[in-house]
Amino acid sequence: MLHSLPALLEELDRTLLNNEDTVPLISSVRWSEIVDWPKDLEQAKAIREKIARIKEINLQLSSPIRATIMALSSDSPYKMKGGPELPTVYTSRIEASA
C-alpha cells in the first residue's frame, strides 16, 4: 500500500494531538513505498516544519512521563525542585578542644 508522505505526517500529527496510539499507524507503513516526496525547496521546508512540529508534540507528551519515572527512581541524582538529593548523615569538621 502506497503512503503519501504529507498525508502520513498529517495523520501522525492528528493521532498525537488526539492522544491516540501511534503504533498501528506507524507499523502499517511500508517505508520503502512512501510517495509524494518534496519536489522543490518550498515543499521540503513544509515537510521539515511538519516533522519539527511532530517532534515537539512527542517531546511535550513524553516529558511528564520521563520526569515521573526519574522522580520515582531511587538512583536519580535529582529530586523535587531540581535539587540534588541530600545525604542522610551530615558530618562536621569542627572539633572542640578542651
Does the structure show a pLDDT above 80 at 69?
no
Residue 24 belongs to domain spanning: 3-82
What is the pLDDT confidence band of residue 84, given thresholds at 50, 70 and 90? low
What is the pLDDT confidence band of residue 19, given thresholds at 50, 70 and 90? confident
Residue 97 lies in a domain: no
Residue 50 lies in a domain: yes
Q: Please provide the DSSP assignment of 30-85 as one string.
A: -GGGEE----SHHHHHHHHHHHHHHHHHHHHHHHHHHHHHHHH-TT-SB-GGGPBP
Close Cβ partners of 40 (under 8 Å, ≥ 6 residues apart):
none
Domain count, the chain: 1
Rounded Cα distance between 29 and 36, Å, is 14
pLDDT digits (tens, 9 = 90+) for 25-58: 888 888 888 888 889 999 999 999 999 999 998 8
Give me the mean pLDDT over the 63-85 stretch. 67
Does the structure show a pLDDT above 60 at 1?
no
CA distances for 76 relative to 34, 69, 84, angstroms: 42, 9, 9
What is the pLDDT confidence band of residue 79, given thresholds at 50, 70 and 90? low
Least confident of 13-17, 44-48, 92-96: 92-96
CA distances for 58 relative to 19, 76, 87, angstroms: 10, 23, 35
Residue 35 lies in a domain: yes
Residue 98 lies in a domain: no
Residue 96 lies in a domain: no
Provide the residue type at 94 as one letter. Answer: I
